[in-house]
C-alpha cells in the first residue's frame, strides 16, 4: 500500500502552500487519547511530541496539526522584515540508501519531484526555502490567531531569525524579532541558529559559539529571565564542539533543539543542480535518512549537559517518522521530540503515539 500524498504539496510553491494548505482528505479524530500532562519548560503540555519550524507556515497549519494531536507547535521562522521564499521547487524527494552522515554527504544526492514511497522509511527529502517571512504586521496578527486555535495543554512556540541590518547588530535584530513574537502571543521563542538554505551567516550561528552566546544573552535580556527560550542547532560532531557551544549559550536559554537537517549537494538525474538559482547548490536534507545523525547529536548534547550540570532540556528533531522513532529519541536523551517530514506524510502520527501510551 502506497503512502498518501503529503499535506504540504511539494509540487507547488511556498506561497501556494501558505495560501491554500494544508491539503488533507482524511478524517480528523473526533477525540484524542488522554495522556498524563508533562511540563514543557514550565508550561503544562499534553505530551512530549510536537512539530518543529518547518511545516507550520501560518495559523491554518498550526490549527490543523493541533486538532491532529501535536502539542508542541513551532510557528515557521519569522523575521523583522518581509523576506521572499526561494522559487519552486522547494521540496524534492531524495534517493537514499541507508543512513546519511556529514561524511557520506561529500557525494551528491539525486533529487526528484515524484516518488511513490511504500513506507515512511522510504521518505527522505530535501527542502530549500531561504527562511521566508511575511511582514511583521502580517505574521504578528497571524501568531495571535494561531494562539487562539490551539487547545488546552498545547504550546505555541515561534521560531525567529535575525540578520545584521543598518544600525542594528545581528544580536539586536534577533532580540527585536523575539520580542515581537512574545508580544504576539508566543508562549516560547526559538532562535534559529541553523539553516543550511540561506546565503547569509545567520544560518550557521551555532558553529560560532561566541556569536551564539552574544545573541542568546541579548535575546534573554529582551525577553526577561523567566520566559522560555530555545536555541535550534545543526549537526554537532564532537563533545568538544558541544562543550564550546553549551558554555556560551547555556546560561541564557532553557532548551536546545537538534538537528536542523543535514546539508548536501543535490543534483537531478541529468547531473545538474536540482534546485534552480544561485546559492542553492546545497540544501537541507531531512526525513528518514538523517535519524541516525540526529540521535547521535541528541545523545551527545544530553550527555554533555548532564556532565556540565547545565539545567537545559533537549528537544530531539530529525528523521522521526514513526512512533518507534519517538521512543528512540527519548531513549537517546531527548526530553521532547518533534517531527516535520513524518508529520507531513502522516498527520495521524501524534494520535498513534498517544494510543501506544495507553497500552
Q: What is the rounded CA–CA span in Å between residue 223 and residue 1?
A: 49
How many domains does one find in the chain? 1
Which residues are identified as catalytic? 195
Cell of 178: 523575539
SS3 92: strand
**Model confidence band, residue 261 (pLDDT cutoffs 50, 70, 90):** very high
C-beta separation of 58 from 322 below 8 A: no
Task: Specify the DSSP element, H or E, that contains 293.
Answer: helix 291-308
pLDDT at 196 over 70: no
Q: Report the range of poorest mean pLDDT among 80-89, 191-200, 227-236, 350-359.
A: 191-200
Under 8 Å CB-to-CB from 347, ≥6 apart: which residues?
7, 24, 26, 64, 65, 68
pLDDT at 358 over 80: no
Question: Mean pLDDT throughout 23-38?
Answer: 92
**Model confidence band, residue 2 (pLDDT cutoffs 50, 70, 90):** low
Predicted pLDDT at 103:
85
C-beta separation of 318 from 278 below 8 A: no
Question: Mean pLDDT throughout 314-342?
Answer: 98
What is the percent of the chain with per-residue pLDDT over 70, rounded to a whole number?
Answer: 97
- Which of 350, 327, 359, 356 has the alpha carbon at shortest distance from 29? 350
pLDDT at 128 over 60: yes
Is 350 a domain residue? yes
Peptide bond into 3 cis (omega under 30): no
Q: Report the range of poorest mean pLDDT among 2-6, 165-169, 276-280.
A: 2-6
- Which of 235, 259, 275, 240 has the alpha carbon at shortest distance from 102? 235
Tens digit of each residue's pLDDT (9 = 90 or more) over 216-230: 999 999 999 999 999
Tens digit of each residue's pLDDT (9 = 90 or more) over 53-109: 999 999 999 999 999 999 999 999 999 999 999 999 999 999 998 899 888 898 999
Q: How far is CA 6 from CA 1, 10, 247, 348, 351, in A?
A: 15, 8, 40, 12, 17
**Cα pseudo-dihedral 92, 93, 97, 101, rounded to 10:** 40
Predicted pLDDT at 359:
62
Peptide bond into 259 cis (omega under 30): yes
**Model confidence band, residue 199 (pLDDT cutoffs 50, 70, 90):** very low
The residue behind cell 557551544 is 245
SS3 305: helix
Tell me the CATH number at 231: 3.20.20.70
**Model confidence band, residue 200 (pLDDT cutoffs 50, 70, 90):** very low
Is 43 a domain residue? no
Q: How far is CA 262 from CA 41, 243, 284, 291, in A?
A: 27, 21, 5, 10
Under 8 Å CB-to-CB from 316, ≥6 apart: which residues?
257, 258, 294, 295, 298, 329, 330, 332, 333, 334, 336, 337, 338
Is 215 a domain residue? yes
Is 209 a domain residue? yes
Please state whether the predicted TM-score (pTM) of the whole model is above 0.85.
yes
Cell of 231: 536555541
Q: What is the rounded CA–CA span in Å between residue 64 and residue 70?
A: 9
C-beta separation of 139 from 78 below 8 A: yes
Tens digit of each residue's pLDDT (9 = 90 or more) over 15-24: 999 999 999 9
Predicted pLDDT at 195:
65
Is 268 a domain residue? no
Cell of 255: 532548551
Mean pLDDT, the chain, integer: 94
pLDDT at 340 over 90: yes
Is 272 a domain residue? no
Q: How far is CA 205 from CA 70, 101, 227, 294, 299, in A?
A: 29, 20, 22, 18, 21
The whole domain housing 207 covers: 49-86+129-263+289-357
Question: Mean pLDDT throughout 148-171?
Answer: 95
Is 22 a domain residue? no
Predicted pLDDT at 102:
85
Is 31 a domain residue? no
Q: What is the rounded CA–CA span in Å between residue 184 and residue 145?
A: 9
Amino acid at each position: 500500500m502506497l503512502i498518501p500524498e503529503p499535506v504540504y504539496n511539494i509540487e507547488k510553491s511556498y506561497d501556494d502552500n501558505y495560501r491554500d494548505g494544508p491539503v488533507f482528505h482524511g478524517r480528523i479524530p473526533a477525540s484524542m487519547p488522554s495522556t498524563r500532562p508533562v511540563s514543557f519548560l514550565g508550561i503544562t503540555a499534553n505530551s512530549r511530541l510536537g512539530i518543529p519550524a518547518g511545516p507550520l507556515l501560518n495559523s491554518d497549519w498550526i490549527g490543523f496539526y493541533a486538532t491532529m494531536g501535536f502539542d508542541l507547535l513551532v510557528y515557521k521562522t519569522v523575521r523583522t522584515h518581509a523576506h521572499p521564499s526561494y522559487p519552486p521547487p522547494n521540496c524534492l524527494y531524495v534517493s537514499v540508501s541507508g543512513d546519511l552522515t556529514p561524511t557520506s554527504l561529500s557525494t551528491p544526492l539525486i533529487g526528484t519531484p515524484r516518488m511513490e514511497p511504500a513506507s515512511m522509511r522510504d521518505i527522505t527529502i530535501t527542502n530549500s526555502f531561504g527562511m521566508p517571512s511575511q511582514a511583521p504586521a502580517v505574521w504578528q496578527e497571524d501568531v495571535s490567531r494561531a494562539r487562539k486555535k490551539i487547545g488546552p495543554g498545547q504550546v505555541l512556540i515561534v521560531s525567529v531569525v535575525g540578520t545584521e541590518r543598518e544600525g542594528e547588530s545581528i544580536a539586536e535584530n534577533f532580540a527585536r524579532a523575539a520580542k515581537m513574537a512574545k508580544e504576539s502571543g508566543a508562549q516560547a521563542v526559538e532562535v534559529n541558529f541553523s539553516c543550511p538554505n540561506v546565503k547569509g551567516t545567520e544560518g550557521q550561528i551555532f558553529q560560532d559559539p561566541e556569536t551564539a552566546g552574544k545573541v542568546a544573552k541579548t535575546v534573554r535580556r529582551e525577553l526577561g529571565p523567566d520566559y522560555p527560550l530555545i536555541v535550534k542547532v545543526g549537526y554537532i560532531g564532537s563533545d568538544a564542539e558541544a562543550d564550546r557551544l553549551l558554555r556560551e549559550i547555556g546560561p541564557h536559554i532553557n532548551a536546545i533543539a537538534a538537528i536542523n537537517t543535514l546539508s548536501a549537494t543535490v543534483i537531478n538525474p541529468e547531473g545538474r543542480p536540482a534546485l534552480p538559482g544561485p546559492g542553492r547548490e546545497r540544501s537541507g536534507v531531512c526525513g528518514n535518512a538523517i535519524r541516525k545523525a540526529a540521535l547521535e547529536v541528541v545523545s551527545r548534547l544530553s550527555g554533555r549537559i548532564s556532565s556540565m550540570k547545565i539545567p537545559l532540556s533537549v528537544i530531539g528533531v530529525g528523521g522521526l517518522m514513526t512512533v518507534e522513532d519517538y521512543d528512540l529519541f527519548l531513549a537517546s536523551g531527548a526530553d521532547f521530540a518533534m517531527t516535520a517530514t513524518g508529520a507531513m506524510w502522516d498527520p495521524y502520527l501524534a494520535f498513534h503515539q498517544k494510543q501506544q501510551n495507553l497500552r
